[in-house]
Homo-oligomer: A and B are copies of this chain.
Amino acid sequence: MYQARGEKHWFIPDGYIPPDSTGALTSHESVCVLNCSTEEALIRFTIFFEDREPMEDILVVVQGRRTKHIRTSSLMKDGAPIPVGVPYAIELFSDIPIIVQYSRLDSTQAENTLMSTMAYPLK
């Protein structure tokens, strides 16, 4: 039995799905989760916006002793994805401790660029 590591509650204030891409790489964001535990982690996402009500209760499972690099474009609520080209923010709440990193690839202007940061944990 491996122990769960990290925290259950994480935040990413700077969410944005670039609407455009050029070249071989598609603009996207990844919420990268590491689950060190033997048990699976059930993660509940809340998506916050600047000018409308949050999208709540989007669920993702990460298997035990696995990572999952979750494309934000894959997160759906009642069949609707997060809109592209709109500033938003992400809250994750997991039933067991996990570790979360956020990265964005933007290929709007011919060449790609990357940014990354650990998400902010509530302790």
- A interface residues, Cβ below 8 angstroms from B: 5-6, 9, 11-16, 23-25, 30, 32-34, 36, 48-51, 53-54, 65-69, 87-89, 91, 99-101, 103-104, 106-122
Asked if residues B14 and A101 are in contact (CB atoms below 8 Å), the reply is: yes
Tell me the complex Cα distance, A109–B114, Å: 12
16 residue pairs A–B, Cβ–Cβ below 8 Å: A5-B9, A6-B11, A13-B100, A14-B69, A23-B110, A25-B109, A30-B87, A32-B87, A48-B67, A104-B116, A108-B112, A110-B110, A114-B115, A117-B117, A118-B118, A120-B121
How many protomers of this protein does the assembly include? 4
Q: Which residue of B lies closest to A11 (CB)?
A: B99
Q: Which residue of B lies closest to A89 (CB)?
A: B67
User: Which B residues are CB-close (under 8 A) to A66?
Assistant: 48-51
With A101-B117, A115-B114 as known contacts, state yes or no: A91 contacts B32, CB within 8 Å: no
Tell me the complex Cα distance, A110–B108, Å: 12
Q: Which residue of B lies closest to A104 (CB)?
A: B114
User: Which B residues are CB-close (under 8 A) to A113?
Assistant: 111-114
User: Which B residues are CB-close (under 8 A) to A34?
Assistant: 11, 13, 48, 89, 91
